[in-house]
Amino acid sequence: MKIAIAQLNYHIGNFAENGRKIIEAVQRAAEKSADLVIFSELAISGYPPRDFLEFNDYITQCNEAVNEIAKHCVGIAAIVGLPAFNESKKAKPLFNSAAFLFEGEIKSLTNKTLLPNYDIFDEYRYFEPNNVFECIKFKGKKIALTICEDLWSLTDNPLYTLNPMDELIGQHPDIMINIAASPFNYKQTKIRKEVLKRNARKYKLPLFYVNHVGAQTELLFDGGSMAINSKAEIVGELAYFEEDLKVFDLEETENKTATNHYEDPGEIASIYKALVMGVKNYFGKLGFTKAILGLSGGIDSAVTAALAAEALGAENVYNVMLPSRFSSMHSVDDSLQLAKNYGMPYDIIEIENAFNTFESTLKPYFKGLPFNIAEENLQARTRGVILMALSNKFGYILLNTSNKSEAAVGYGTLYGDMNGGLSVIGDLYKTQVFDLARYINRVGELIPYNIISKPPSAELRPDQKDSDSLPDYDILDEVLYQYIEHRKGPREIIAMGFDGALVNRILKLVNTNEYKRYQTPPMLRVSTKAFGMGRRMPIVAKYLS
């Protein structure tokens, strides 16, 4: 038997385009003499469809699309993920299903058993878990078909008491197939491979795994679909961060010497590829082509501009320099050099006149109080007004340039530098932003060295440095990482050797600034715990505040 793995970039709710891609892949697989082609979890709808699943019309269109695809499955079978109605009319109205298509029709539906309901996943909100286990018979083989999380009950700390493969193995399957929607984070590739290999090792069966690729708002899917033999050796891997299709001969897969052609590029390189893909897909799927951002001469806006130039083409990234009375000349010069290095369009718009107008307008109402954070924020909001006006006038998407360190402790101005339609580096700590800048410069000085080497500053008052308000980023980022990613409390972090007063101050800043993060644009997710849909905290709360 020959099995094709089709790794595609889907668009949520775009049934016509998703269906076209799937039909085209079925035809390509047939041309390569495949007997079966497999597509990822919820391929028809895109993942995650979220509350679109509450509309019967949405589910009906998914089913119509899969019926159309089935017509093309003659002489070749396909497995396609979709949401399907729960015909029993009991419990939740939907299943997360995999349709087995052959001879022009839907032959069977296999439903997902383990429904993740943590971090970014909300599947139990919509779907009823499966309780019927039956292998698919095809071409003299029995296929144990599972959907994503169904194979994740073999981790060291399983979240479920049930293991679908333990139910299916009694039927003596010949092959495991898992269709998935496994989002990227910079640790996930290694973990995912180990989980899949552990399944192959335990059940002594070959495993064919297909994943999504592409970006769905903040969620990034890296692909990395693969074939694993019964000895738990990866014998073939599909591309990362791009569409791919490969055909594997089952017998050859079992007998073939293991070859893993994928070379892990490293954490920062993977993050770079993920973010470029995220920006490109966000714009492409929304139908936008041009971005705008405020280029300050700092590391964050420089890295954001560089990523956008790679994703959209340098000619489509409009950089606006917005100097004030506190801006240093080298900040403007560094910004100009960056724009010229990439060939990006730019303008310099002084904010002094607008800022003076705000100051004079508010002077009677500020009651003679001295210059403080109100005037600092007023500068940032003046810049935000100008950038949003240009965005509205020309149809650009404004890119937010805040990093995770700043977002965590509230070091940003609502309706100012926190504006934007997409936060490109909002899931990168400041130290990671510096690492990414150095990676971008691996082939030459695209980001001026002075931007990377100078002390970070918001330049909202004379001689301002980030270190005036925040601990050194090496320390701050480690404390934040332990609290956010590892969910360690203050006593645990202090026990690691960090100063107690500093830890309590940092965690208080994180929790009291939740209201700001609640109003931020979507952040491209690259970590194991990102701000946004995967981290839900109350705004009005006392804990650690």
Asked if residue 197 and residue 310 are part of one domain, the reply reads no
- The angle subtended at Cα 422 by Cα 449 and Cα 373, nearest 5°, is 70
Asked if residue 312 and residue 163 are part of one domain, the reply reads no
On whether residue 535 sits in a domain, the answer given is no
DSSP string for residues in 236-278: EE--BSS-EEEEEEHHHHHHSPP---PPP--HHHHHHHHHHHH
In 140-266, which ranges are continuous DSSP H helix?
A: 164-168, 188-203, 250-255
Number of domains in the chain: 2
Contact 247, 283 (CB under 8 A): no
On whether residue 67 sits in a domain, the answer given is yes
Asked if residue 412 and residue 323 are part of one domain, the reply reads yes
For the segment 457-501, what is each residue's pLDDT rounded down to a tens digit? Answer: 666 667 667 667 788 999 999 999 999 999 999 999 999 999 999
On whether residue 387 sits in a domain, the answer given is yes
- 197: CATH: 3.60.110.10
Asked if residue 213 and residue 319 are part of one domain, the reply reads no
pTM for the whole structure: 0.95
pLDDT at 175: 98
Q: Which of 424, 439, 466 is the last residue of a domain?
A: 466
Select which of 128, 148, 193, 237 is catalytic.
Answer: 148
Asked if residue 109 and residue 6 are part of one domain, the reply reads yes
User: Is 148 one of the annotated active-site residues of the chain?
Assistant: yes
* Identity of the residue numbered 362: L
Could you give the CA distance from residue 527 to residue 355 in angstroms, rounded to a whole number?
Answer: 38
pLDDT at 455: 78
On whether residue 529 sits in a domain, the answer given is no
Asked if residue 235 and residue 158 are part of one domain, the reply reads yes
Q: Across the chain, which distance is largest between two alpha carbons, in Å?
A: 86
Q: Residue 309 is part of which domain span?
A: 270-466
pLDDT at 205: 98
pLDDT at 326: 74
Could you give the CA distance from residue 127 to residue 181 in angstroms, rounded to a whole number?
Answer: 15
- The angle subtended at Cα 395 by Cα 392 and Cα 401, nearest 5°, is 80
Beta strands in 390-545 (DSSP E): 397-400, 422-423
pLDDT at 261: 62
On whether residue 57 sits in a domain, the answer given is yes
User: Is 112 one of the annotated active-site residues of the chain?
Assistant: yes
- 378: CATH: 3.40.50.620
pLDDT at 155: 77
On whether residue 274 sits in a domain, the answer given is yes
DSSP three-state, residue 525: coil
Select which of 2, 21, 41, 246 is catalytic.
Answer: 41
Residues of the chain scoring pLDDT < 70? 257-262, 327-328, 457-461, 463-464, 466-467
Select which of 21, 112, 488, 529 is catalytic.
Answer: 112
Q: Which of 244, 264, 284 is the last residue of a domain?
A: 264
Asked if residue 260 and residue 276 are part of one domain, the reply reads no
Asked if residue 129 and residue 35 are part of one domain, the reply reads yes
Could you give the CA distance from residue 221 to residue 528 in angstroms, rounded to a whole number?
Answer: 13
On whether residue 82 sits in a domain, the answer given is yes
Q: Which of 466, 484, 519 is the last residue of a domain?
A: 466
pLDDT at 459: 61
Q: Which residues contact 338 (CB under 8 A, 6 or more apart)?
A: 295, 302, 305, 306, 319, 344, 446, 447, 448, 451
Asked if residue 404 and residue 324 are part of one domain, the reply reads yes
**Token digits of residue 445:** 């000085």
Asked if residue 454 and residue 360 are part of one domain, the reply reads yes
On whether residue 153 sits in a domain, the answer given is yes
Asked if residue 167 and residue 221 are part of one domain, the reply reads yes
Asked if residue 186 and residue 62 are part of one domain, the reply reads yes
pLDDT at 259: 63
